[in-house]
Amino acid sequence: MGSESKQGEKTRVLVVGATGYIGKSIVRACLAEGHETYVLQRPEIGVDVEKVQLLLSFKKLGARIVEASFSDHQSLVSAVKLVDVVVSAMSGVHIRSHSILFQLKLVEAIKEAGNVKRFLPSEFGMDPPRMGHALPPGRETFDQKMEVRKAIEAAGIQYTYVVGACFAGYMAGGLCQMVALLPPKKKINIYGDGNVKVVFADEDDIAKYTAKTLNDPRTLNKTVSIRPPDNVLTQLELVQIWEKLTGNELEKTNIAAQDFLANIEQMEIPQQAAIGHFYHIFYEGCLTDHEVGEEEEAISLYPEVMYKRMDDYLRMYL
């Protein structure tokens, strides 16, 4: 089903965090899906020229720019009154601008406006209700996402939560190395025995599934997991894909869990958070340690999306 509702009208979507890492992909995917797409421009943009240029590029593609500020409640109410669906892509990682709780202001505005049919808060990663045991300070991400979910549900706002995958740009490109986004040339650290299953997804594919799910009656008030079967791989399998592409074998060092966590207290908060998240993904297998029903799985819901496989994805780095 495309963007046409019963009356033949397009779904109107507002993307918040549109110039961010996943946000820009979501804007493009919404436009490609035929949604009437609005992007929120906040006064905080100031002289951030890259963000301004991104907004102008969205305008060229047919998006509409709406001005509003998180410090002006009425401006947010006016912005959300323009649309049927609000999608938030605000940053939830400590190495960027951890701003999950700003969404509580969006919840207030949506509640007051009263016209929004669905809200998709910023999720897209590990499923927060499963992460109650997470290590601090990284668990703050999940605690705050849960706080936002509780506020959404308490306000009686309809929702879809999109979860389940590692962003390929952060995780696959560097073959899961903590401090690199490009594949190593000679040596690589392997987490534990390297055999824990992880889910990888191209950011543009995550955005495509998001654009399809946001007005789908089947996903109303549901959690949708992105778990492309061919991209459910162990770290070693990902490394082997790269070795096959390059014809070059990397020298591997296995890092035991206790060594991986050894010096965590001495690190800066963003690094501590990242180590915790890596630990849950690569040692505990938090993305794959539970079943997902077909009706909650993006790939079963939208088989028409030809998602990018990781061998294809890694070719970019050759």
- Catalytic amino acids? 145
Give which of 46, 125, 55, 41 is closest to 91, Cα–Cα: 125
Q: Give the C-alpha distances (Å, rounded to integers) separating 36 from 2, 9, 88, 273, 306.
A: 12, 9, 16, 37, 23
Separation CA 115–CA 299 (nearest Å): 30
Q: Give the C-alpha distances (Å, rounded to integers) separating 54 from 18, 20, 309.
A: 9, 10, 27
Separation CA 269–CA 275 (nearest Å): 10
Provide the angle, in degrees to the nearest 10, between the axes of the packed helices 23-32 and 49-61.
10
Place of tokens 């669906």: 85
Separation CA 47–CA 37 (nearest Å): 24
Give which of 235, 168, 229, 209 is closest to 305, Cα–Cα: 209
Are 307 and 299 spatial neighbours (Cβ–Cβ below 8 Å)?
yes
List CB contacts of 227: < 8 A, sequence separation 6 or more. 164, 165, 199, 287, 288, 292, 297, 298, 299
List CB contacts of 193: < 8 A, sequence separation 6 or more. 236, 254
